[in-house]
Amino acid sequence: MSSVAVAAGEGRVGLRAGVRHIGALVRRNALQIKADPQSMIDALLMPVVFTLLFVFVFGGSVGAFLGGGREAYAGYVIPGLMAMMGLNIAMAVGTGMNEDFHKGVMDRFRTMPIARSSVLIAKIVVELGRMLVATSVLLGVGFLVGLEVRTSVFGLLAAVGLSMVFGASLMWIFMLLGIAMKSAQSVQGIGMLALMPLQFASSIFTPPASMPGWLEEFTEYNPLSSLADAARNLINGGPVAHSVWMTLGWAVAITVVTAPLAVARFRGQR
């Protein structure tokens, strides 16, 4: 947190004060969710819809390719869907940020004597809580349709933690878009254009071996493939070092580039 503040040129706000600001803003954002429970609908329903849709529509054919049935596909796709939870929550962060600007909420924050980065970090903390709820629902439904943890509880928790770290990095991208774009619709439109190819040209839904050669090669460099493979191997067993380090590397790189830009843009005039 302090590194982001330094990168944004907020040396006048101390670390202790910054943490206090973040805590107050997290409480405010959490109370907003409590006052508007409908804002949790996407986190509660999307995991159910995605799990049932992919397992029961594609489970038979892709499961047969994996050498099993729907249960085999559940073990393959649900760890991959953990990456999708981060994508969808991150996109909601960007549209929500843009709407807050239009309502004047963010302008009021910028007039207060608080660390500018604390507003954005508090937003990420609360959204990570929503992502944790979504992931818990996803895993709960997954266990009902055949998901098994073949490693250990620690492997499962590591997969969840890795997904949240990568999801947090994506939130910085969408907050930057939410600040820079003129409307929430444009944020969502650009997000969909960028993320749809990345989602489906990855190992989230199907094994890359079933794809054409040029597309299979692309999936090897897709950060969503790294996350899906890491989560899958942490839960099902298999080599994890390369995919875990690749995912962490992508998360750090994305955060280092976009977090200072988002904070700097937030400090300036829209």
Query: One digit per residue, pLDDT tens: the chain, 270 residues?
Result: 434 443 334 446 666 777 777 887 888 878 877 777 777 787 788 889 889 988 888 888 887 777 777 888 889 999 999 888 888 888 888 888 887 777 776 767 766 767 777 888 888 999 899 999 999 999 999 999 888 999 999 999 999 999 999 999 999 999 999 888 888 888 888 888 888 888 888 889 888 888 888 888 888 889 999 999 999 999 998 899 999 999 999 999 999 999 999 888 887 754
Q: What is residue 135's predicted lDDT score, i.e. its pLDDT?
A: 93
Within 8 A by CB and 6+ apart from 38, the residues are none
CA distance 3 to 78: 34
Confirm if 62 and 76 have CB atoms less than 8 A apart.
yes
pTM, 2 dp? 0.85
Q: What is residue 5's predicted lDDT score, i.e. its pLDDT?
A: 40
Q: Please tell me whether residue 84 adopts helix, strand or coil conformation.
A: helix
Within 8 A by CB and 6+ apart from 107, the residues are 101
Q: What is residue 10's predicted lDDT score, i.e. its pLDDT?
A: 46
Q: Taking the domains of the chain in order of start, what are their residue ranges?
A: 2-267
* DSSP string of 123-190, one letter each residue: HHHHHHHHHHHHHHHHHHHHHHTT---SS-HHHHHHHHHHHHHHHHHHHHHHHHHHHHSS-HHHHHHH
Within 8 A by CB and 6+ apart from 69, the residues are 59, 60, 63
Q: What is residue 8's predicted lDDT score, i.e. its pLDDT?
A: 39
| DSSP letter (8 states) at residue 67 | T
Confirm if 55 and 74 have CB atoms less than 8 A apart.
yes
Confirm if 191 and 84 have CB atoms less than 8 A apart.
no
Q: Please tell me whether residue 228 adopts helix, strand or coil conformation.
A: helix
Residue pointed to by tokens 């508090």: 122
Q: What is the radius of gyration, based on Cα positions, of the chain?
A: 19
Give percent helix, percent strand, percent coil of the chain, each to the nearest 5.
Answer: 85, 0, 15
Q: Please tell me whether residue 70 adopts helix, strand or coil conformation.
A: helix
Q: At what angle do helices 184-200 and 70-103 cross, to 10 degrees?
A: 160
- CB-side exposure of 155: number of CA atoms within 13 Å? 18
Q: How far is CA 159 from CA 90, 154, 188, 246, in A?
A: 18, 9, 27, 14
